[in-house]
Amino acid sequence: MRNHLLAVLLLWSGTILATTGQERAAEVAHSLVGKPAPQLVLTTIDGDMVDLGKLYGRTGVYLKFWATWCVPCREQMTHLEETFQRAGDDLAVIGVDAGFIDTLADVRAFRDQYGLTMPIAIDDGRLADALNLRVTPQHVVIGRDGRVLYVGHLVDDRLESALAEAKKSATPRIASSAVGDAPPAPHAGNEITSFETKTIDGNPFSSRDATVTQPTAFVFLSPWCEDYLERSRPAVSASCRDVRKQVEDLLSGNAVRWLGIASGLWATEDDPRITRAGRFIRRIRLDELPQLLNVLAGQMSLVGPRPERPVFVDELAKKIPYFRQRHIVKPGLTGWAQINYRYGSSFEDAVQKLQYDLFYIKNQSLLFDLSILFNTVKIVILRKGT
């Protein structure tokens, strides 16, 4: 009864848990920070070679992923150039275009427009894969010992602190993770590698299913392509719209088995990639309805520690004592840690947020839950949270 009553309150007020670019980057940080950075040789748009493996142990490295069509990326370009200008010999600053839609001509024109002077490479997919690119812009700071020091999305004090730390004297260098050569581009007549996966509905999909008699077609798409690129890349936006309509028409029959593969890049808070309908849904907090259904089903609570993905739980539990104590109570839509601490983007943040979670578990009560919900509502109304 308590959760049903509180669910009505929270649905009215909204929560502060909308997914943001910094949260996406924080998820990546949980899996990368402290681990060896990838060894990879980048080719800049001027044809020069940058061997990341040879930089480790000699200097810190700052890799910034961006794209010419990315609005938040454009807003951060001044900071990127300023960082390069003051980096000196203790920090290698490299701009990395994500290689999504952009051509060499696009990137060169963008460099000239913003007056960028640091080395710039267009990723062929290997670096993004090794560093689990999930959002643009994405900052990756690597210490002089060759370990990933920080992953983030915003230009803030945490990024500046990581850049300063990366320039400090190195501890003994560790072995970096090797990255294989880029796979050759597919051509008509090539045999595809067999694979199995699951769709977003949880249904299994096998690329080679003996029971399937019709041909299989893969369509690669980005849900935000039509709206986000409407101004900056109108021709590409129109192409995305045409492909979507073509696929919708072809789906009417059963002659072909289709699999849509969505881009791994995600929208950020107030990002133009969010459609007009999506922006309205987020504004009135309807994007929280699925989790409210989890609450009503008894799988979650309105108040409790924020749920983490199992892979992050396993890694953090190995490093942080008592981390699994968070699971004594059900995860919540909002919580003591969420309203008192920023979004976590590092190991240190996870340690600090655990202190809030353990305090909540020790002092859990209906009055405490109501207090947290009241403060959640206040934060949302005053727009202090996202």
pLDDT tens profile 225-256: 777 777 777 888 888 888 888 888 877 777 78
CA 144 – CA 59 distance, rounded (Å): 5
CA 1 – CA 296 distance, rounded (Å): 10
pLDDT tens profile 302-322: 999 988 766 567 777 877 888
DSSP bridge partners of 198: 204
Task: Identify the CA nearest to 275 among candidates 219, 234, 229, 242.
Answer: 229
Q: What angle do CA 292, 223, 202 make, to 5 degrees?
A: 55
Pairing of strands 138-142, 60-66: antiparallel
Q: Give pLDDT, residue 246.
A: 84
Are 3 and 302 a contacting pair, CB within 8 Å?
yes
pLDDT at 40 over 70: yes
Q: Give pLDDT, residue 1.
A: 42
CA 73 – CA 80 distance, rounded (Å): 10
Indicate whether this model's pTM tops 0.85. Answer: no
Q: Give pLDDT, residue 9.
A: 38
* Domain ranges, ordered by start, for the chain: 2-18+275-381, 21-178, 196-262
Tokens representing 75 are 């807003």
Q: Give pLDDT, residue 180.
A: 55
pLDDT tens profile 132-172: 888 889 999 999 999 999 999 999 999 999 999 998 866 55
CA 96 – CA 98 distance, rounded (Å): 6
- Topology given in CATH for the domain delimited by 21-178: Glutaredoxin (3.40.30)
